[in-house]
Structure 1
């Protein structure tokens, strides 16, 4: 026999109903259908429940009964920390969360990165969600098929752009980047380089060749590069002469090394077009470290319109990341158009100027 005190049993629906003198259904309604009870009765029931140590209905059991999880899953093929470090992703999730909150649904981020393998597949299969948002995924990602097999309402955001039968929310990336490049061409820039993030799930850092572009499975980056090259070609610049440097990861270390590689390997460049603001900020850091004045000696453009870019007075393409999240939420909850293409705009900033005459002449 032990002298340890017995643990007090927690209250149950039955014990609360017995003390209050109502049915178990009435106690359940105090939590799940409060409008069916008078405020006085509901408060009395909740007070008895608190005194008996009753924590409330088991959410898992309730989900089994109602067959509703009350959550939207976001397939995010990056490390989980990236969702809260990348400003564009944070803005997107904030917009989606606003729509979820307005409909009393929560948000579950499912971090199934490219290297997650079967563990990532299990996360998707086991996620207790009512619907899914696929956020910026390669068109050959095997996790797409796992999402499809769940048969849940699903919206794709950003990429892939050609998944048949699923609603899509995004921007026209090819067209969106062209105003920034057009500005450079109009000012006289002809020696232009490009920085990009990964084009495929397989890690490949360094120069990007035409073959890499043709075989790219990440549509967003491919389309932004293609749009930039098309605008340069329209301005008389040979696309094959444009150096492109890519990195698999879009983090400060990778972006800093990409900027350094581009500037050191091509010292005659007068402008750099970046497919993200974070890369453009890295170019500004690399230029400062090398004593290159922006924009007097080097013009720089970004893409996204994040707060840090605006604070740096970066010339960039502003896309509505928060509205993109809200549009994805509306597509899930309210239906509507099957394809939503949001507008973008050029933010002039202060990082673009005409090239110096001697640089423009190639001297």
Structure 2
């Protein structure tokens, strides 16, 4: 099998080989977005600069290197219909690493892998992992994997992981963001507001936290919540995608005037599904999201909360750097506020 090299990466991205080489050596003249694109493709192709150009075995290394583990399938990460949040987070990580002279290597992890004893991790630890100073975790990981990784390396997660209270984390303030969305809907006159999410291969702690924020704010402003209006919010009552769309359409016909979706991609999928079922957004029902990704082609501009992805990536990298100097200090959870973005998917409910 032909080994991937920097020229192949350059050709696929339409860059010069010199630009790709400078990305791997933290050259100050490289745009962080370009550097992030190079690292993403390098990971996809199986190219690792530190392994390929590692020098003599046993050579002493003083340079910090961050391993960036992305727990998702490559197909999901690189899908073309939605902008990947992971890609935006990596831009912030790349920017920090470039300014601080830190190396980084990006690797995709199959969400189905439940332990670091799996051969997929063993191979990673024996190659790129030999050079990692610490890890940045993107997307939810299985709980056991998080515990095992934290025993091997200093770790900072860029999303609050399930059952990992002692893990350092930098994330968005879910409660502040969802609170803004519900206040906006309430101000427009909505009184029956549902919540919509979907099932994931790994439990989505972020979706549960946004649901918790929904329940808290609805209670605070005195709006009634009906269990049937909350779709895919409890692990024991999860349904498939098409069934969830059918349930949402049924609730709209029964009186729901707005749905708060746990994520933008969920909201866009729901809007398409409701339209196929004869329901218009926002004329028949308002729909909001949470993420702030770019609007997919042919879709309306979503009313949503914009997550400061780049800042999260940068702050998480800085926290990992601090953690390397004081590994056994108390864990920190740093939450950054999002911003409300008005769109075309919300209006006052029909009289």
Separation in structure 1 between the aligned mates of residue 52 and residue 284 of structure 2, nearest angstrom: 64
Q: How does 1:259-338 map to 2 (within 5 A)?
A: 259-264=245-250, 266-268=252-254, 269-308=256-295, 312-333=300-321, 338=332
Q: Offset at 1:109?
A: 1.7
What is the SS of the residue equivalent to 1:267? helix
Q: Tell whether the 8 Å contact from 1:71 to 1:108 is kept in structure 2 after alignment.
A: no
What is the SS of the residue equivalent to 1:155? strand
Picking from 94, 111, 114, the partner of 1:113 is 111
Q: Give a deviation string over 1:328-353, Cα, whole Å, max 9, x none.
A: 12222356994422111211212111
Q: Which residue of 1 aligns with 2:18?
A: none
Please state if 1:78 is matched with 2:79: no
Q: How does 1:33-112 map to 2 (within 5 A)?
A: 59-62=53-56, 64-67=58-61, 71-85=65-79, 87-102=84-99, 103-112=101-110
Q: Offset at 1:303?
A: 0.4
Q: Which residue of 2 aligns with 1:131?
A: 134
After TM superposition, the score normalised by the length of structure 1 is 0.67
Q: Return 109-118 or 277-286, whichever deviates more.
A: 109-118
What is the SS of the residue equivalent to 1:313? coil
Separation in structure 1 between the aligned mates of residue 182 and residue 201 of structure 2, nearest angstrom: 24
What is the SS of the residue equivalent to 1:303? coil
Q: Tell whether the 8 Å contact from 2:194 to 2:258 is kept in structure 1 after alignment.
A: yes
Separation in structure 1 between the aligned mates of residue 108 and residue 124 of structure 2, nearest angstrom: 7
Q: Which residue of 1 aligns with 2:19?
A: none
Q: Tell whether the 8 Å contact from 1:170 to 1:341 is kept in structure 2 after alignment.
A: yes
Separation in structure 1 between the aligned mates of residue 269 and residue 110 of structure 2, nearest angstrom: 27
Picking from 328, 338, 342, the partner of 1:344 is 338
Highest relative contact order (Cα 8 Å, sep 6+), 1 or 2? Answer: 2
After TM superposition, the score normalised by the length of structure 2 is 0.69
Separation in structure 1 between the aligned mates of residue 283 and residue 148 of structure 2, nearest angstrom: 51
Q: Offset at 1:320?
A: 0.6
Cα distance change of structure 1 residues 73 and 110 upon mapping to structure 2, 3 Å threshold: farther
Q: Which residue of 2 aligns with 1:122?
A: 122
Separation in structure 2 between the aligned mates of residue 80 and residue 63 of structure 1, nearest angstrom: 31
Please state if 1:190 is matched with 2:191: yes
Q: Offset at 1:177?
A: 0.8
CA RMSD of aligned residues (A): 3.3
Cα distance change of structure 1 residues 123 and 239 upon mapping to structure 2, 3 Å threshold: farther
Cα distance change of structure 1 residues 223 and 338 upon mapping to structure 2, 3 Å threshold: closer
Cα distance change of structure 1 residues 234 and 166 upon mapping to structure 2, 3 Å threshold: closer
Separation in structure 2 between the aligned mates of residue 125 and residue 110 of structure 1, nearest angstrom: 13
Q: Give a deviation string over 1:184-206, Cα, whole Å, max 9, x none.
A: 122222332221144783xxxxx
Q: Tell whether the 8 Å contact from 2:258 to 2:287 is kept in structure 1 after alignment.
A: yes
Q: Which residue of 2 aligns with 1:360?
A: none
Cα distance change of structure 1 residues 130 and 68 upon mapping to structure 2, 3 Å threshold: farther
Separation in structure 1 between the aligned mates of residue 90 and residue 245 of structure 2, nearest angstrom: 28
The number of residue pairs the alignment matches comes to 280
Separation in structure 1 between the aligned mates of residue 134 and residue 335 of structure 2, nearest angstrom: 21
Separation in structure 1 between the aligned mates of residue 57 and residue 313 of structure 2, nearest angstrom: 26
Cα distance change of structure 1 residues 338 and 231 upon mapping to structure 2, 3 Å threshold: closer
Show structure 2 runs of 5+ residues with no match.
Answer: 1-24, 26-50, 235-239, 326-330
Q: Tell whether the 8 Å contact from 2:68 to 2:106 is kept in structure 1 after alignment.
A: yes
Q: Tell whether the 8 Å contact from 1:272 to 1:299 is kept in structure 2 after alignment.
A: yes
Higher alpha-carbon Rg: 1
Separation in structure 1 between the aligned mates of residue 350 and residue 199 of structure 2, nearest angstrom: 32
